[in-house]
Amino acid sequence: MTVYGRKPVLEALGDPALEVDKVVLAEGADRDAVRTFTEAARARGLVLQRASAQRVKVLAGNGRQDQGVLADVVAPRMRPLEHFLDDLAPEAPARVLVLDGLTNPANVGMILRSATGAGLEGVLLPRRGVPSIDPLVIKASAGVAFHAPVLRARTAADGLAALAEAGFVLYGLDSGGDTSLFDAELPDRVALVVGGETDGLTDEVRAELHGPVTIPLAEGVESLNAAVAASVACFELARRRG
């Protein structure tokens, strides 16, 4: 995982549970930044690398937020979905949350925090259609994003197809559904999908689902924030597991 921005990089360097591969600071950085990152890198047994500001922007992939510094971090629980499925024992239960079309990095970060706190085995974060793990996601997750069980697939629909083939039953959180999440029969292998903040579940994802489930709300409240709905779902899965 490439982490960029001064605070996220310092958080990564200050976390002894993380393996940091390298730290790169842009040439022309102020003296305080050079001293701060030199000392932080040295404390981890690393030599601070220097590169042009343009090179840092290219490596970070986000020229507006890199703040002239990045680090390559080994995220111990991030892996391709196919590796997760290959390692899953044939009869092993598993709970996976799937993100579909979310656009707000803060929501993604909060969802990663909730899913990790609830002990879910995976959070499918597709490479297309959902924000990457950037400083805003890391901040909203309170640093948990580094340790979250993130699963990667090209799209949410691709990931759901692979999960279904591995025996997962697929449900989408939908405010218009007829079956309550709290009453639904959730099997040992289940994936719950959280749709985008504005449009909800995409058509491609709906086509992969076995059905919708809803979080019942009191009269006058149409829907919940995506991160809040995901948190409710995560801890309902945790409650079912006991």
pLDDT digits (tens, 9 = 90+) for 34-47: 999 999 999 999 99
User: Do residues 109 and 41 both lie within one domain?
Assistant: no
> Terminus-to-terminus CA distance in the chain, angstroms?
33
User: Do residues 15 and 85 both lie within one domain?
Assistant: no
User: Do residues 154 and 83 both lie within one domain?
Assistant: yes
Q: Two tokens at 16?
A: 């002894």
Provide φ and ψ at 143, rounded to 5°: 85, -10
Task: Supply the CATH number for residue 56's domain.
Answer: 3.30.1330.30
DSSP 129: S
Q: Which amino acid is at 46?
A: L
Work out the pLDDT band at 134, boundaries 50, 70, 90: confident
pLDDT digits (tens, 9 = 90+) for 138-167: 889 988 998 899 999 999 999 999 999 999
DSSP 152: E
User: Do residues 63 and 134 both lie within one domain?
Assistant: no
For range 105-129, the mean pLDDT: 96
Work out the pLDDT band at 188, boundaries 50, 70, 90: very high
Residue 62 has a pLDDT of 66
pLDDT digits (tens, 9 = 90+) for 54-111: 999 998 876 667 899 999 998 888 999 999 999 999 889 999 999 999 999 999 999 9
Residue 61 has a pLDDT of 77
Work out the pLDDT band at 177, boundaries 50, 70, 90: confident
Burial of 17 (0-12, 13-18, 19+ CB in 10 A): exposed
Structural contact between residues 168 and 191, judged by C-beta atoms closer than 8 angstroms: yes
Q: Two tokens at 52?
A: 């042009």
Number of domains present in the structure of the chain: 2
User: Do residues 168 and 219 both lie within one domain?
Assistant: yes
Q: Which of 54, 74, 94 is the last residue of a domain?
A: 74
List of E strands, the chain:
2-4, 19-26, 49-51, 69-74, 79-80, 94-99, 122-124, 150-152, 169-173, 189-194, 211-213
List of E strands, 109-165:
122-124, 150-152
Provide the residue range defining the domain that includes 172: 79-241
Residue 233 to residue 47: CA distance in whole angstroms: 44
Q: Which residues contact 201 (CB under 8 A, 6 or more apart)?
A: 100, 101, 172, 173, 174, 193, 195, 209, 212
Q: pTM of this prediction?
A: 0.86
Provide φ and ψ at 48, rounded to 5°: -65, 125
Work out the pLDDT band at 135, boundaries 50, 70, 90: confident
Q: Helix, strand, or coil here: 202?
A: coil
User: Do residues 63 and 97 both lie within one domain?
Assistant: no
Residue 127 to residue 87: CA distance in whole angstroms: 21
User: Do residues 59 and 93 both lie within one domain?
Assistant: no
Higher-confidence position of 38 and 242: 38
Rg (CA), the chain: 20
Task: Supply the CATH number for residue 199's domain.
Answer: 3.40.1280.10
Q: Which of 27, 46, 74 is the last residue of a domain?
A: 74
